[in-house]
Chains A and B, each alone.
Chain A
Amino acid sequence: MSSVTLRKVVKRYGQVEVVHGIDLSVEEGEFVVLLGPSGCGKTTTLRMVAGLEDISAGQLEIAGRVVNDVAPKDRQIAMVFQNYALYPHMTVRQNMEFALKPQKLAANEVSARIAEAARILGLEPLLARKPAQLSGGQRQRVAMARAMVRTPKVFLFDEPLSNLDAKLRTQVRVEIAKLHRRLGTTVLYVTHDQVEAMTLADKIVIMKDGHIEQVGSPEEVFAKPRNLFVATFIGSPAMNLLPAKVAVVNGAPVLVANGFRLAAPPSIVSALDPGASVTLGIRPSDIRVDEAGDYEAVVEVDEYLGTEVLLNLRAGNHELVAQVPAAARPAPDRQSVRIGFDAARLHVFDTQSGEAIR
């Protein structure tokens, strides 16, 4: 049984359609991240699941029940907002109590739940404080505790880490991962940050312009991007892209990219049309830098990052970024290096459609 299912869900504001009939299923207990640039419709989608926005067309199911016309409070969800959405004049405890008020629980049940949430999220010393007396990270933990005490079927997170600084973001990210592991509740999480998506998700949903571009595990979307958008959006530094043509040499297809002649990945040989225009994608970590390399490149800038080095290379007309272990860093005075590519790790896209050739 799916915990959350969207079928051809559409959102229109007047004449403008911003979400174009998306299908998505979130399994029970799964951590699903909606990832995409701003304006891609991910937050709108989340708000439709929450019931804060009406669904213009299509169907939304939560726990097997169609909830298109069900009020937010009856959807068995809880939401954590980007700017915390805490009640400023209430203490941490009162914030949680107020969230529980509609459930009309016995007083000892209320305090038991608050005590449990406070313990898990380390809020015990802060229960009597008001939001203004808390740091950003603490506030976000309170917002999570407030969502948690309601024991929802689904947690919705709307960019919960965006207002935090880089260090806190890492900390709270780990808290969220731990919380999910401990509670096992279904999570739908919106972010524009690929690191959050890669580290937290069981399944990533990459969105662009109100469409879903790809759904898959972090490994899948990284290793097998379905199109150019996903290929460049996932991975940091971004994938190198080279325009190329398919040629045939000795009966075998070869990818010719202005000075480079690369063997096609064996798995897609049959799918390549001779003469077709394609775009080659090479992850910076897939560029070999060693003496055995087939091509010469010039190091224009090297960026030392501690454990690794980013080499900004020029090879012929191509500008490439290679990511190598710091130990393999070419000597600073070494202007010229040899580079090579592994055919099996090349990504080939149809230039016209942007789709990966498989």
Chain B
Amino acid sequence: MSHTANRDRRIAAVFLIPAIVVLFATTIYPMLYALWLSFRNYDLAKPFIPRIFVGLANYAEVLTSKAFFHALITTFKLMAMTLSAQLVLGVGIALLVSQKLPGMALARTLLLIPMMISPVIVGLVWLFLYFPELGYLNYFLGLVGIGPVPWISSTQWALTAIAIGDIWQWTPFIMMGTAAALQSLSPEPYEAARIDGNSRWDVFRYVTLPQLKPVLVSLLFLRAIDAFKIYDIIFVLTKGGPADATEVISLYIYRQSFTFWRMGVGAAASFVSLIIISVLITLFFKQMQRGQAARAR
């Protein structure tokens, strides 16, 4: 290697150091510390007691805990509700705003607003809307003779209420990605289909949807990861309740760590859920890609 190339490398390394330090301090160190904690008994209420090594005890507790599996199932329920609704609504709205109609550009921009709001604020907005006596939602439902619905105070409705808030906030994400993908499709096949007389549904089902699929899979992948980490909106709306109706994984971890002060158990639960989500999401998307590859052949 020449002298200049060596020098360039050294200079590059110097410039990279700040980024590496920040990355280590904010991501790698906390992760390693959490991993270390997950094998120890650490009671935050008694911080001066030594954090003794307990082996896999924390993991055993998590894996035999009913509450943990309940939280896991609740997470997947919520994920199923939000992702399916966001997919259908997002694609539908994207098709709508992609029409050449007046005001569609403005509509597209306005529809992105929910996505830009902090989830905590979204939670507060929906908290007001869901308010049993004073909330707008029950007021309007009352006008058409429905309700009042105990949105966030009943175990039956609370998860749906949270799903609605999340759908409201994140449908624009699917819409935005889909609308961009729609714009990249070439118009001629659609003209050919018009001349051949294919129905609108057939054109959507057999021409548009297959071409959108790679984008939709990526968008859902991102949403699935986010949905697994959902926290803020639930914390504001229900704090995991009523009872444990809306206690998802992240709230379970929070409760173990900061309500019961059992940091070790919380850390272990974090890692268990990390492994579960990694495995499930990888399997799911491998399967989807395999399906696509099969069709491509």
Contacts and interface: CB of A to CB of B under 8 A. Distances in A.
A289 interface: no
Contact of B195 (A79, A101, A130): A79
A99 B192 contact: yes
A52 B196 contact: no
Interface string B165-198: 0000000000000000000001011011111111
Given A98-B206, A101-B202, A130-B296, A85 B188 contact: yes
B197 A85 contact: no
Interface stretch (A25-33, A70-78, A206-214): A70-78
Contacts of B191: 50, 52, 79, 81, 85
B195 A78 contact: yes
Given A52-B195, A73-B195, A150-B196, A85 B189 contact: yes
Given A83-B188, A101-B202, A130-B296, A89 B211 contact: yes
Contact of A102 (B188, B196, B295): B196
Contact of A50 (B195, B206, B210, B211): B195
A85 B192 contact: yes
B199 interface: yes
Contacts, number: 66
A146 to B, nearest CB: 8
Contacts of B186: 83, 85
B210 to A, nearest CB: 4
A197 interface: no
B197 A87 contact: no
B191 to A, nearest CB: 6
A79 B192 contact: yes
Interface size class of B (residues with CB under 8 A): 10 to 19
A77 to B, nearest CB: 6
A52 B202 contact: no
A71 B195 CA distance: 8
A74 B197 contact: yes
Given A72-B195, A99-B196, A87 B207 contact: yes
Given A85-B188, A130-B296, A72 B194 contact: yes
A104 to B, nearest CB: 10
Contacts of A85: 186, 188-189, 191-192
A86 interface: yes
B194 A102 contact: no
A81 B196 contact: no
Contacts of B194: 51-52, 72-73
A102 B198 contact: yes
Contacts of B193: 98
A96 B25 CA distance: 59
A101 B207 CA distance: 13
Most chain B CB within 10 A, of A50, A72, A78, A84, is at A72
A311 to B, nearest CB: 45
A72 B198 CA distance: 11
Interface in B17-57: none
Contacts of A73: 194-197
Interface string A25-50: 00000000000000000000000001
Given A99-B196, A102-B198, 11 more contacts: A50-B191, A51-B195, A77-B195, A86-B189, A87-B206, A89-B210, A89-B211, A89-B296, A101-B196, A102-B202, A130-B296
24 contacts: A50-B191, A51-B194, A51-B195, A72-B197, A73-B196, A73-B197, A74-B197, A78-B196, A81-B191, A87-B189, A87-B206, A88-B189, A89-B296, A90-B206, A98-B193, A98-B196, A98-B198, A98-B207, A101-B198, A101-B202, A102-B197, A102-B198, A102-B199, A103-B197
When A and B form their complex, which 5 residue pairs have the shortest distance between CB atoms, in order from nearest? A73-B197, A85-B188, A102-B197, A85-B192, A89-B210
Interface of A: 50-52, 71-74, 77-79, 81, 83-90, 98-103, 130, 146, 150
